[in-house]
Amino acid sequence: MNQVTEYRGGKFSVLSSDQIYDIHMATLEVLEKTGILVKEENALKLLDDAGAVVDYETQRVHIPQYLVDEAVRKTPRTVKLCGRDPKNNLRVEGNRSYFGLGGSGIYMLDPDTLTRRTATKQDLADSTRLADALEHIDFLMGLIIPQDVDQTIWDRYSAEVKLKNTMKHSFTGALGAEGARDVLKMASLVAGGEKELEKNPLFSFILCTVSPLTQDARNTETAMELARHKAPIIFACESICGGTAPISLAGTLVLQNAEVLSAALIAQLTNPGTPVIYGAVSSPMDMRNGSIVMGVPEVALMGVAVSQLAQFYGIPLYSMAGITDSKIPDAQAAYEKALQQVLVGLTGGNLIHNACGMLDKMITGSLEQMVI
C-alpha cells in the first residue's frame, strides 16, 4: 500500500477568474515596465540573448510578455518527487495536496525541559527520523537548520542527515553552485548515479527570491547549476506585506508572481523543461513593531490565492499553511494552524509545508508539535 496520504482540493477560492487575470496582467506590466534586478552576469546574458531588455550597468532587466509565456509553456505540469522507498513518491500536479514539515528553525523546544535552546545537528537527525515514521507527513524539510556546524556549508550537513534518516522525499538548500554540485553528488551516490537521480529526484531545492523584485547572485547561480542537472527547483518568494512588498494582499500577489516567474524564466532559458515549482510564503508585517506575523488570516488568504494563481499557470505549487505565532504547542497554535491548513488544503495547494512541527513564526522546531 502506498504510504503517502493524498488529498484533492479545488473546492474553495477567494479570487474570481477575472481577478486572477487582472493579477496576471499586472504582473506582466511590472516585468516589462518596472523590470527586475538580476545580480548574476551569466543570467543577464541569457536574458539578453533571449530578447529581454538588459541594462548591464544597473543590472535591471525588462522582460516582455512572450518570454514569460515561454517560461510557463516550458515548465512541466507534473513533477515527480521521489523517496528512497518508491512507496513514498509524490506526483505533484493539479489540485493534489500533500502535507509536510517546515524547515527554517534555528531553535528547538527541548522535549525534556520544554525550554527553547539553539538547534543542533542531532535535533535535525531526531526530527527527520520522527517525520519518517509519522504517516501524516508526506515529505520533509529539515525541521531546523543546525547551528552547531560550519554555517558556510550547513547545506551539506543537512543533506547528509536527510539521506541517512528518511526514506521520504526531502526539500533542501544549496549554498551556491558548488553547494548544489556537492549535494547532488551526495544524492546521486544514494540514488545509483546521476541519471538515476535525474529520473528519481530524492531532493527538491528551495531557492528564495529577494523582495522587492530582485534575483540575487548566489541563488541565481545556484538555480542555473541545478537546472543543468534537471533537479527540481522551488522558487520561493518570502515577501513581507507592508515591508518588502505592497501593504495590500493583491499588490503582494503581483510582486511575488513577478519574482517567481522571472526566476522560472532563467531556469528554463538555462535548460528547457527544468522542473520548477512555484513557491510563495509571504506574510504581513506588524506595523506596531516591524516584526512579521504568521498565524493570521491573511496568510491563509494568501495561500488560497496563490494556489489559484499556480493552477492558472498550470505550475506545481509549494505553499505554506500551519504557521503559528505561539511559542508553545497550545490552543493558540491549534487554532492558527487549523485555519490555514483547512483553507489551503481545500483550494488544492500541492506541497503544503510548515504543516506541522514549527512554532514562533517558524523559528522554533518542536517534536511534540510534529506529532500533534
- Structure confidence by residue, pLDDT tens digits, 151-170: 999 999 999 999 999 999 99
pLDDT tens digits, 336-346? 999 898 888 88
CA distance 296 to 302: 10
Tell me what the mean pLDDT of segment 60-78 comes to: 98
Strand ordering across the sheet containing 358-359: 116-118, 107-109, 364-365, 358-359
pLDDT > 90 in the chain, percent: 88
Looking at residue 355, what is its pLDDT? 84
Helices (H) and strands (E) in the chain, counts: 12, 20
Domain assignment present for 43: yes
pLDDT tens digits, 186-210? 999 999 999 999 999 999 999 999 9
372 has a pLDDT exceeding 70: yes
Looking at residue 8, what is its pLDDT? 73
Looking at residue 11, what is its pLDDT? 76
Domain assignment present for 150: yes
10 has a pLDDT exceeding 60: yes
Looking at residue 5, what is its pLDDT? 63
Domain assignment present for 41: yes
Q: Where residue 131 sits, what CATH number does that domain have?
A: 3.20.20.480
Asked which of 3-12, 33-42, 302-311, 329-338 is least confident by mean pLDDT, the reply is 3-12
| Residue with more model confidence, 246 or 372 | 246
Tell me what the mean pLDDT of segment 222-236 comes to: 98
Domain assignment present for 1: no
CA distance 117 to 161: 20
| Residue with more model confidence, 355 or 366 | 366
Domain assignment present for 253: yes
At which residue does the C-alpha cell 521521489 appear? Answer: 82
78 has a pLDDT exceeding 80: yes
Q: Is the distance from CB of 265 to CB of 276 less than 8 angstroms?
A: no
Mean pLDDT (the chain) is 94
Looking at residue 6, what is its pLDDT? 65
Strands 60-62 and 79-81: unpaired
Domain assignment present for 61: yes
- Listing DSSP states for 269-295 in one string gives HHSTT--EEEEE--EEB-TTTS-B--S
Looking at residue 280, what is its pLDDT? 87
Looking at residue 2, what is its pLDDT? 45
Total number of domains in the chain: 1
Q: Which domain holds residue 324?
A: 7-371
Going by pLDDT thresholds of 50, 70 and 90, the confidence category of residue 349 is: confident
Domain assignment present for 314: yes
Looking at residue 1, what is its pLDDT? 39
At which residue does the C-alpha cell 496568510 appear? Answer: 299
Going by pLDDT thresholds of 50, 70 and 90, the confidence category of residue 104 is: confident
128 has a pLDDT exceeding 50: yes
